[in-house]
Amino acid sequence: MQHLCPGQKVSLPIYSIQLPEATELMSAMDAYRGSGLFMYVEPDYIGHAKGRPAQDSLMPNDTYFNRQWPLYNDGSF
């Protein structure tokens, strides 16, 4: 189990748990949910594009792309 925000002040700690390859994902997630120790359980998938792992070359070439992520979309445009 790896704490994803060490040294940072966060309201709820976030952890990443790496399971053995032979583990059945849905059963493991159900077990973690049922334990009562976790508020939220979700898989951490690795993204792929056209069957290949995502790379920087697949990102848009928009100079300001990195500034767009935190925008609040209130539907004004």
- Residue 35 corresponds to which tokens in the numbers above? 């334990």
User: Could you state, in order of their start, the residue ranges of all structural domains in the chain?
Assistant: 1-6+13-45
**Which own/partner contact pairs does 15-23 have at CB distance under 8 Å and 24+ positions apart?**
16/44
What is the separation of C-alpha 57 from the centre of its chain, rounded to a whole number of angstroms?
Answer: 21
pLDDT values of the chain reduced to their tens digit, one per residue, 77 residues? 666 666 667 677 778 888 898 999 999 999 999 999 888 899 987 766 666 666 666 667 778 776 776 666 666 55
The pTM of this model reads 0.52
